[in-house]
């Protein structure tokens, strides 16, 4: 009986040992000749959208991929600005000027009204004097009273005249003689600024250029406003220094009112004898790779995307200024999705390096 029990126990033990080895062997697939990499049938497939044309890498995306990627592009904007950049400027807040104009108009109205009244009272006084000389039909007291009234009117007029002088002196000190003339003359061209039809820009010339004559015509590049380039003409030297912009300050007048008050701007001299055309690459198109700025354009002939270097180009407030010819005018600049295109261009190269 004991022998049978022993045999059963030994048999069960052997069975257990065999099962354990089977489990171990099945767990280590390399031992039984199964390669784990061969079992993975769901390996990621990388599609290469790049192509080489005339030695230049281009990206050719299927229309469905392009649409789903939300890649956007538009024609490049041309500009006649040159690459000489002036210091920053500010769109001036002319609320003080507007207030001065209103106060001056009210004071002039009061002075005119008082002068009219004074003239009337003086004529009245002369009439009283005639009556007083004619057998005292009018008393001396009445004449004295009228003279006091006239004196009070004179004093009131002088007070308003002093207020007017103070306003004009304030305008001269802060805005210059040219705006004093504008406040005195209703038909002065600068009244378009006071009526918010044009705008006033304070622009600085850098310390190194302080001896140079400021350009008569400039092109303004907004930093906040959504408007495109705005032309402006030199008005006069600013009588005060704006601490927020270093250099000699000059006033310029724009040809519209599309800028935001207090907005910082950049400006370029507009040379009338320059026929060179430049292109503006918006900031949204610029990407950086290996420490260099790049932009993608869509070639109109074949619809492919190609990367263009902006290295050495001029950076402006809202984009990069490049000479026409660096990018063809017929090509379109990518404004959204440039980073995605950069990833697509290098993705397959990285995959190949990993396989090697």
Give pLDDT tens digits for 232-289: 999 998 888 766 666 688 999 998 888 999 988 888 777 655 566 778 888 889 999 8
Of 310, 356, 313, the closest CA to residue 333 belongs to: 310
DSSP secondary structure string for all residues of 216-242: SEEEEEESS-S---EEEEEEEE-SS--
For residue 269, what pLDDT is reported? Answer: 77
Percent of the chain at pLDDT > 70 equals 79
For residue 252, what pLDDT is reported? Answer: 94
| 3-state class (DSSP) for residue 314 | strand
64-98 pLDDT tens trace: 888 888 899 988 877 655 545 556 788 999 999 99
Backbone φ, ψ for residue 246 (5° rounding) = -80, 140
Query: Residue 347 and residue 334: Cα distance in Å, rounded?
Result: 19
For residue 22, what pLDDT is reported? Answer: 75
Q: Any residues with CB less than 8 A from the CB of 275 and at least 6 apart, and which?
A: none
Q: Report how far apart, in Å, the C-alpha atoms of 30 and of each of 20, 40, 96, 283, 304 are.
A: 17, 14, 86, 55, 47
Quick check: 262 and 93 in contact, CB under 8 A?
Answer: yes
For the cut 60, the answer to whether the pLDDT of residue 209 exceeds it is: no
Mean pLDDT of the chain: 80
């Amino acid at each position: 009986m004991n022998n049978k029990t022993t045999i059963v126990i030994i048999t069960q033990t052997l069975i257990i040992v065999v099962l354990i080895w089977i489990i171990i062997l099945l767990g280590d697939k390399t031992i039984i000749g199964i390669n784990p990499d061969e079992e993975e049938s769901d390996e990621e497939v990388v599609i290469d959208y790049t192509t080489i044309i005339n030695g230049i890498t281009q990206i050719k995306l299927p229309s469905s991929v392009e649409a789903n990627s939300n890649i956007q592009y538009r024609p490049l904007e041309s500009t006649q600005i040159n690459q000489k950049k002036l210091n920053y400027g500010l769109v001036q807040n002319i609320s003080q000027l507007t207030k001065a104009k209103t106060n001056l108009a009210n004071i002039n109205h009061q002075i005119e009204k008082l002068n009219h009244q004074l003239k009337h009272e003086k004529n009245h006084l002369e009439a009283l004097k005639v009556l007083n000389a004619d057998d005292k039909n009018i008393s001396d007291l009445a004449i004295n009273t009228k003279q006091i009234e006239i004196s009070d009117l004179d004093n009131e007029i002088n007070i308003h005249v002093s207020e007017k002088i103070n306003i004009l002196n304030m305008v001269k000190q802060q805005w210059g003689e040219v705006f004093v003339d504008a406040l005195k003359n209703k038909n002065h061209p600068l009244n378009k600024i006071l009526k918010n039809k044009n705008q006033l820009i304070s622009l600085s010339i850098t310390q190194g250029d302080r001896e140079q004559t400021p350009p008569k015509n400039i092109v303004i590049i907004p930093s906040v406003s959504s408007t495109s380039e705005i032309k402006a003409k030199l008005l006069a030297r600013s009588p005060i220094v704006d601490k927020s912009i270093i250099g000699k300050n000059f006033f310029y007048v724009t040809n519209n009112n599309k800028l935001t008050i207090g907005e910082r701007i950049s400006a370029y001299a507009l040379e009338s004898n320059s026929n060179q055309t430049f292109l503006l690459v918006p900031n949204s198109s610029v990407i950086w790779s290996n420490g260099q700025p790049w932009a993608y354009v869509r070639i109109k002939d074949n619809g492919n995307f190609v990367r263009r270097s902006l290295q050495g180009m001029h950076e402006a407030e809202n984009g990069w200024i490049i000479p026409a010819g660096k990018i063809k005018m017929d090509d379109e600049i990518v404004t959204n999705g440039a980073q995605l295109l950069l990833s697509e261009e290098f993705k397959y190269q990285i995959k190949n390096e990993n396989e090697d």
